[in-house]
Structure 1
Amino acid sequence: MAQQPSSLALRYGIIAVVVGGLALLFYGVANGLGQGRVTAQQFVDFQEGGNPHLGFRRAHAKGFCLAGEFVANGELSAYSSATIFQPGATTFVGRISIGGGNPTAPDLASGVRSLALSIGDKANLRWQTAMNTPPVMPVRTGQAFFEQMNAFRPDPETGRPNPERVAAFLEAHPETQAAREWQASYTATESYATETYNSINAFYLVNGRQRQAVRWAAVPQAESHGRGFEGDRDDPNALQNEFMARLDVAPVVYDLVFTLATDADDENDPTVRWPADRQQVVAGQIVIHSATDQSEGLCNGINFDPLVLPAGMAATNDQILQARSSVYAESYRRRAREHFYQQGME
């Protein structure tokens, strides 16, 4: 028996959280930017909703800065010529954030958490990665993503997405299935330090003529106790404060785990999870030593564009990945302009 639109909207409405959370910092992209379809300006305008929080990122507005080092073990050197993967430590500036455009939102209210890193300080050696808790995208093109944002936008009269519009979108986009299944099974952990953060999009490791498609994940060394957050749930900065308290005791560490694609995997399709039996390589550890408020840290001035890659890595032809830089740049330009005017008024 076919499900009614209202049932579909209720069952899969959580996708709206993913859309809102990832819209710009990680997935606010448009297939065919500059080709008469959806422009970067239109994406940013849509995310702002006519009421931007001036000076803040248009998505993942709330976060804090990190400092630490990536300690490589050399295990990826056979696949990539990037010096960052040779044995040794490279410093990074990073950011942990939650989804959404409100910089004062409660930490525990968001269904999406993000870890972004800018590793290294030389242009041709720097690697930037923006990772999120979901392992896949709901759709595979920017145009479909923009349609999804519209399908899940709240109805002015009810304040909720229109069930018929949501159902029509889901019926037209069966590729959302993997994202829906993940969301149905996902439970947020009690700490940013116990989450796994995924690259979602695939990239290439390059060594001479060899090219290996990969995805990666930051896998926490700290174990989750599986009971959810147990601190002050009324504290809007609950997770940030918990994380900083951990750092007062010891560094927070994640293993950086690369999954290697086979010929059976399509590296250009971010909606499909690769099978669990794919070869994995631990490239080293992400070691976070300190954290500061984003207004005081270096991360606030960084545009964490994931297409900033060192020699020895390359982008795939993933349509969403290929268009992300344009939207990142537009969002960054607006934020920089707002900071400029705010400083001029002081």
Structure 2
Amino acid sequence: MRFAKIGRALAAGAGLLLAAGAQAQDAAVSEQIVDTMNALWGRHPGLRANHAKGVVVEGSFTPSAEAAALSKASVFRGPAVPVTVRFSDATGVPAMPDGDPNAKPHGLAIKFAPADGAEMDVVTNSLKFFPVATPEEFRDLLQAAQAAGGGNPASLQAFVAGHPAVPKASAAIATPSSLARQVYNGVNAFVLVDAAGKRTPFRYRFVPTAGADLLPPEEAGKRPPRFLMEELPARLAKAPVSFTVMAQLAGPGDSTRDATIPWPEDRRLVDLGTLTLTRAVPDSAAAEKALLFLPNNLPEGVEVSDDPLIDARVQTYAISFGRRSQ
């Protein structure tokens, strides 16, 4: 978390104490989030608490001239950059069929590795916006779902009644025919910083070159349990898969802090470059266990916004990584 600098020694000391307390509180909420995920979906050795089922592929990212104008980050200003990408299903149930309604939203996480070592991680999913705005609300949603699974549906019903973005977010997603035929969105806002220091808030959008292709629920339910995880490597064995990496730029009055509020579709979309995937890794399970994607792992030229979910994601991912590494 970031705190303003305080000039006087006494105020600085107080500020450090407050920061430590806030970080401890955030860490406690993140721990509760992971604990509840483990209670909901079980604890599976070596696997993530959420988005447990996935597949890892590799390729490159080629930035556009427009990207270089918006950010001084090397990933947006040079030649093609190697990438490692993990696609995933939702929940912590690794055996859940890919076509199960609970396997949505599907995830896309990317680790960019430019030659200068200025890595960048990006974590997106198929939601157009997030169901809740704060880490505490996300914990409470998971705990309400856990209570509902234990025979107390009133808890979840009450939570949803007070948080209308929850049903709206889930209603806007579907199962794709291929992980390569899905639009993936960055529900959290970040900030591009150019060479002159100009800051531009934005949200990511990954648009498949082949176009989106979504299945009706009844058709998704008929597909084999691992059809998405097996189809992508087979597709890559025949030809590369590509996505246009877009930045939706914030307009006047757009909230960067509340991930439940989608920005209007008339906001400017900038082409940041092309993500080209060329091969599946030989041992996806081993690669998945070792990979850790952190949304605040950013180079100079890209910064986090004031969205409180970003810090929560970082901490929950780190906690989940620690547990699966034991």
User: Normalising by the residue count of structure 1, what TM-score does the alignment of the two structures yield?
Assistant: 0.80
Q: Give the alignment partner of residue 260 of structure 2, picking from 256, 263, 271.
A: 271
Displacement of 1:224 in angstroms is 4.2
Identify if the C-alpha distance between structure 1 residues 36 and 87 changes in structure 2 by more than 3 Å, giving closer, same or farther.
closer
Displacement of 1:49 in angstroms is 1.1
AA in 2 matched with 1:256: V
1:213 corresponds to 2:204:
no
CA offsets 1:214-237 (integer angstroms, 9 cap, x no match): 001110011345555979945221
State the match for 2:53 in structure 1: 62
Whole-angstrom distance in 1 between the partners of 2:113 and 2:190: 19
Whole-angstrom distance in 2 between the partners of 1:186 and 1:260: 22
Query: Would you say the 8 A contact 1:33–1:40 is kept in 2?
Result: no
Secondary structure of the corresponding residue to residue 152 of structure 1 = helix
CA offsets 1:113-146 (integer angstroms, 9 cap, x no match): 0111100156861110111000211111111111
Whole-angstrom distance in 2 between the partners of 1:36 and 1:227: 38
306-315 vs 117-126, which deviates more? Answer: 117-126
CA offsets 1:260-286 (integer angstroms, 9 cap, x no match): 112221111111000011111111111
AA in 2 matched with 1:128: D
1:291 corresponds to 2:283:
no
Displacement of 1:87 in angstroms is 4.4
State the match for 1:201 in structure 2: 188
Q: Give the alignment partner of residue 326 of structure 1, picking from 291, 309, 315.
A: 315
Query: Would you say the 8 A contact 2:182–2:211 is kept in 1?
Result: no
AA in 2 matched with 1:209: G
Identify if the C-alpha distance between structure 1 residues 185 and 172 changes in structure 2 by more than 3 Å, giving closer, same or farther.
closer
Identify if the C-alpha distance between structure 1 residues 231 and 180 changes in structure 2 by more than 3 Å, giving closer, same or farther.
closer
Secondary structure of the corresponding residue to residue 257 of structure 2 = coil
Identify if the C-alpha distance between structure 1 residues 225 and 167 changes in structure 2 by more than 3 Å, giving closer, same or farther.
closer
State the match for 2:306 in structure 1: 317
Q: Give the alignment partner of residue 247 of structure 2, picking from 250, 254, 258.
A: 258
Displacement of 1:95 in angstroms is 0.6
Whole-angstrom distance in 2 between the partners of 1:330 and 1:227: 34
CA offsets 1:233-264 (integer angstroms, 9 cap, x no match): 45221112221221122101000011111222
Whole-angstrom distance in 2 between the partners of 1:36 and 1:318: 13
Percentage of pairs with the same residue: 29
Whole-angstrom distance in 1 between the partners of 2:315 and 2:172: 33
Q: Give the alignment partner of residue 25 of structure 2, picking from 35, 39, 45.
A: 35
State the match for 1:335 in structure 2: 324
Identify if the C-alpha distance between structure 1 residues 226 and 271 changes in structure 2 by more than 3 Å, giving closer, same or farther.
closer
Secondary structure of the corresponding residue to residue 88 of structure 1 = coil
AA in 2 matched with 1:184: A
AA in 2 matched with 1:88: P
State the match for 1:151 in structure 2: 144
Query: Would you say the 8 A contact 2:106–2:125 is kept in 1?
Result: yes
Displacement of 1:68 in angstroms is 0.4
CA offsets 1:304-341 (integer angstroms, 9 cap, x no match): 1111011100001111112322221111111111xxxx
Identify if the C-alpha distance between structure 1 residues 47 and 225 changes in structure 2 by more than 3 Å, giving closer, same or farther.
closer
State the match for 2:87 in structure 1: 96
AA in 2 matched with 1:117: I
AA in 2 matched with 1:45: D
AA in 2 matched with 1:39: V
Identify if the C-alpha distance between structure 1 residues 270 and 231 changes in structure 2 by more than 3 Å, giving closer, same or farther.
closer
Secondary structure of the corresponding residue to residue 145 of structure 1 = helix
281-290 vs 230-239, which deviates more? Answer: 230-239
Whole-angstrom distance in 1 between the partners of 2:142 and 2:235: 36
For the aligned residues, what is the CA RMSD? 2.5
**Which residues of structure 1 form unaligned runs of 5+?**
1-30, 338-346
Secondary structure of the corresponding residue to residue 243 of structure 2 = strand
- Higher helix content, 1 or 2: 2
Whole-angstrom distance in 2 between the partners of 1:102 and 1:156: 15
Q: Give the alignment partner of residue 123 of structure 2, picking from 123, 130, 141.
A: 130
**Which residues of structure 2 form unaligned runs of 5+?**
1-20
Whole-angstrom distance in 2 between the partners of 1:154 and 1:333: 26
Whole-angstrom distance in 1 between the partners of 2:23 and 2:107: 25
Structure 1's consecutive aligned runs of 4 or more residues displaced over 6 angstroms after TM superposition are 229-232
Query: Would you say the 8 A contact 2:182–2:213 is kept in 1?
Result: no
